[in-house]
Amino acid sequence: MAEQLLNIHQLNKHFGGIVATDNVNLSVEQGLIHAIIGPNGAGKTTLIAQLSGQIKPDSGEIEFGGHSITGYNTARRAREGLARSFQITSVVMPMTLLQNVMLAVQGTSGHSFRFWSPVSEDREMATAALESLAAVGLDDRADRIAANLSHGEQRQLEVAMALAMKPRMLLLDEPMAGMGKEEGAMMVDILNSLKGDITILLVEHDMDAVFSLADRLSVLVNGHIIATDTVENIRNNHEVQKAYLGDGHA
């Protein structure tokens, strides 16, 4: 059996009376694209937020790379190699693409209590950032201001930033959200090209994209994972069809 990069043990999160995460157990194998699907309000984003540290779980344990990261804050998890992208585009709008991605390089390359040398003269960081921009096809627009990009381009920038952190694992929260067909197809290509190098946990609504990308699928319903299996088996899983795919997808 391949190595497990991420292990989630009995994770629970309640918001008042609402159960957002219900006893979730999940293992993500090294090198795979593991997708989480589920109806709206199933708790997918809440789960991602607990993995990246924005929300603290009520109970349970998160193991990453062999040790517990449950007590780590967002920044420390990012430095450990667990990078996330956001469902709602979250970049530094007034900065250029290059500056945005250089921030991502900077965040995972030592501390930033450096007060004197200009970042703009740091060739090494710029080169690393341009590589990530090239990986998502944005390197020809490196000096544009992020706010002036199209929505699809901003989503690509979001992924470039996550890549620039040289993560061991990417948490992608609906990377295709709000994208047109063409842009969506481009994102699928980008993610496919990363396959094998980076472990990816993907939350996505676009079923075509999920089926073409994912090696493993987990189905989240009402905060609980009702099945984890290969794409083929999930498609044929009666319980899953009833709970989720039954309404038009299967």
Partner 1 sequence: MGWFPQTISGRVYAVILLILAPAPFVFEWINQPFYLDLLSRALILAIAVVSLNLILGFGGMVSLGHAAYIGIGAYSVGIPSYYDFYNGWLHLGLALSVSAAFAFVTGAISLRTKGVYFIMITMAFSQMVYFTFLSLEEYGADDGLVIYSRSEFPEWLTMDGSTSLYYWIFGLLLLSLFFVRRLVHARFGRVIVGSKFNDQRMQALGFDTYRYRLVCYVISAMMCSLAGMLLGNFTGFISPDMIGWARSGELIFMVIIGGAGTFFGPLVGTIAFVLLEEFLSLITVYWHLIFGVMLVALVLFGKGGIDGWLSLMDRKRADNG
Stretch that binds partner 1, among 23-31, 37-45, 61-69, 75-83 (CB under 8 A): 75-83
Of the residues 3, 15, 59, 75, which one makes contact with partner 1 according to CB under 8 A: 75
Burial of 29 (0-12, 13-18, 19+ CB in 10 A): middle
Asked if 45 is part of the footprint of partner 1 (rule: CB under 8 A), the reply reads no
**Encoded amino acid at 126, one letter:** A
Asked if 145 is part of the footprint of partner 1 (rule: CB under 8 A), the reply reads no
Stretch that binds partner 1, among 13-21, 24-32, 100-108, 129-137 (CB under 8 A): 100-108
Q: Kindly state the DSSP code that residue 46 receives in the 8-state scheme.
A: H
Give the contacts of 227 (CB within 8 A, at least 6 positions apart).
Answer: 217, 218, 219, 234, 237, 239, 240
Asked if 87 is part of the footprint of partner 1 (rule: CB under 8 A), the reply reads no
Asked if 148 is part of the footprint of partner 1 (rule: CB under 8 A), the reply reads no
Radius of gyration of the chain (CA): 18
248's tokens: 């038009």
Of the residues 67, 118, 140, 238, which one makes contact with partner 1 according to CB under 8 A: 118
Closest separation in Å from C-beta 193 to partner 1: 22
Asked if 155 is part of the footprint of partner 1 (rule: CB under 8 A), the reply reads no
Gap between the Cα atoms of 90 and 101, Å rounded: 12
Q: Are 135 and 160 in contact (CB under 8 A)?
A: yes
Which stretches of the chain bind partner 1, using CB under 8 A?
Answer: 52, 54, 73-76, 78-79, 83-84, 86, 90-95, 99, 102-104, 106-108, 112-120, 161, 165
